Chains A and B, each alone.
Chain A
Amino acid sequence: MAEKPDLLFRGTKNGLHLVLNGTKDFNVLKAKLKEHLNRADKFFQGADVTLDIGDAEFSLDQILELQQILATPHGLHLKKIVSGRDESKREGRRHRESGDATDRSVLGGTETEYRVRNQVTEGAFVYKGTLRSGQRISHDGDVVVVGDVNPGAEVTAGGDIIVMGSLRGLAHAGTAGAKEAVVVAFNLKPTQIRIGSAIGRPPEGDVGSREGPEVARLKDGVIVIEPLDESRWEGDW
């Protein structure tokens, strides 16, 4: 079953949609949110935010804290809160049309909704589509991208990263310190790969293109890249 990333931003017609994985430690989430907002330059300035806290229930104090982080210095307005696991109802617009869950107001005001549902999920986060420049996935478990990761896009995973397409952006696997973490792609041409604290860049100049799926992993503290079929890799999948 697919788990959510820790944090995911999406722009929608109704402003910004922020998905927080509420099963994660609140302080970690706060830190990640701050880090992301600082990266996001000024594009989000003044946007309305729909906060999706997924499976968890936050206390009112925690919500207010998040609201504060969004408001200063980034000028974002927390307008609406949704929870619940059903992907199809995450969309603010669609969400309003569905009235099947327990709604209660947390922040007051007509636009605010808070949906309660408890369902813990686990496994890899699967993203279908092209991850484009400026887009970022960050997740504590494994990440599978069914599509390309373009230059300027970033995937960060506590575990492995598997790209069923071309990896041309940045991939950081094993952020939690898992030395056995790997990055696999059908076409591995990253701007940079990180595994744990090791950083690997493609060699300078044109190395000629290698065809076929490859795997990047740590060998004696250095990132090495090998064809997937020839690697004597003893992973657990």
Chain B
Amino acid sequence: MSEAIVITSGKGGVGKTTACANLGVALASMGYKVVLVDADIGLRNLDVVLGLENRIVYDLVDVVEGSCRLRQALIKDKRIDGLFLLPAAQTRDKTAVNPEQMEELIERLKEDHDYVLVDSPAGIEQGFRNAISGTDRALIVTTPEVSAVRDADRIIGMLESLELSDPALIVNRIKPKMVAKGDMMDISDIMDILAISLIGVVPEDEYIVISTNRGEPAALAANNSKAGQAFRNIARRISGEDVPFMDLSDTENWWSKIANFFRAK
């Protein structure tokens, strides 16, 4: 029953790596065995966000080229049971791996893990094609900006033609106050264009920046940041639970609007 999920976007810097790390932490905290695959070869940073950078010996390219065994390259997170990272190579470029090799790698990882989460590079070039290879499902991350939504649309079109059907959307960095003032696209504006299912909304949260710098993802159970909570909810939805949308009643009626949007669907 294991599932490989790619986390991707059209525009860069919208929060894929952040989402991947946090969803990995959240799913592992729920008791699943999870491996995070950094497919952003040449620009790795999932290890940094997870605080595992100094433990890297082997990487994804080493595994694919047979320079080490898969098990040797997997880094086990010491904070949460069942969370592993397969780091990207920093000194190689994306042509070091091809889609067929990625597909085989993902298959092997699925044998031992409940979830394989693949952190994709942004855009539509070879790195993207590598990242989606072998995955069962895609999560698209966008911010509520016209350009990011446009690029997300493009990626969705490509995924559809690549037969990776039924992608779900994460809207990241939404600012309730700006939405309320009409200065930011709201969820229904975005859904109107993208017309795919919404799996979560993550607010702009300073804690993400702090936690990223510390290498301690916000979804670690010990803290109760809003973004961390949002990622934990998305993780539960990934696992098939029907989680109602956050009602953070201290932040205006904006959240209830989102909740209504979901109910209306």
* Chain A residues within CB distance 8 Å of chain B: 10-13, 42-43, 45-46, 129-135, 148, 150-152, 166, 168
Contact = CB atoms under 8 A, between A and B. Distances in A.
Given A148-B195, A168-B193, A133 B154 contact: yes
Given A43-B124, A43-B125, A151 B161 contact: no
A132 to B, nearest CB: 3
Contact of A132 (B124, B125, B156): B156
A12 B150 contact: no
A132 B154 contact: yes
A151 B163 contact: no
6 contacts: A13-B162, A42-B125, A43-B125, A45-B125, A134-B154, A152-B153
B153 A151 contact: yes
B162 A11 contact: yes
Contacts of B162: 11-13
Interface string B186-227: 000000110100000000000000000000000000000000
Q: Top 6 A-B pairs ranked by shortest CB distance?
A: A132-B157, A133-B154, A133-B153, A134-B154, A11-B161, A132-B153
A134 B125 contact: no
B259 interface: no
B158 interface: yes
A152 B148 CA distance: 12
A131 B162 CA distance: 15
Interface of B: 124-126, 146, 150-151, 153-154, 156-158, 160-163, 192-193, 195
A11 B193 contact: no
B156 A12 contact: no
A130 B160 CA distance: 10
Most buried by B among A42, A45, A46, A134: A134
Nearest to B133: A13
Contacts of A150: 150, 153, 193
Contact of A151 (B158, B193, B195): B193
Contacts of A45: 125
B195 A152 contact: no
A13 B99 CA distance: 10
Given A132-B154, A132-B156, A152-B150, A12 B161 contact: yes
A51 B193 CA distance: 31
B163 A12 contact: yes
A133 B125 contact: no
A129 B161 CA distance: 12
Nearest to B195: A130
Contact of B150 (A10, A42, A43, A151): A151
Q: Which of A13, A42, A46 has the most CB of B within 10 A?
A: A13
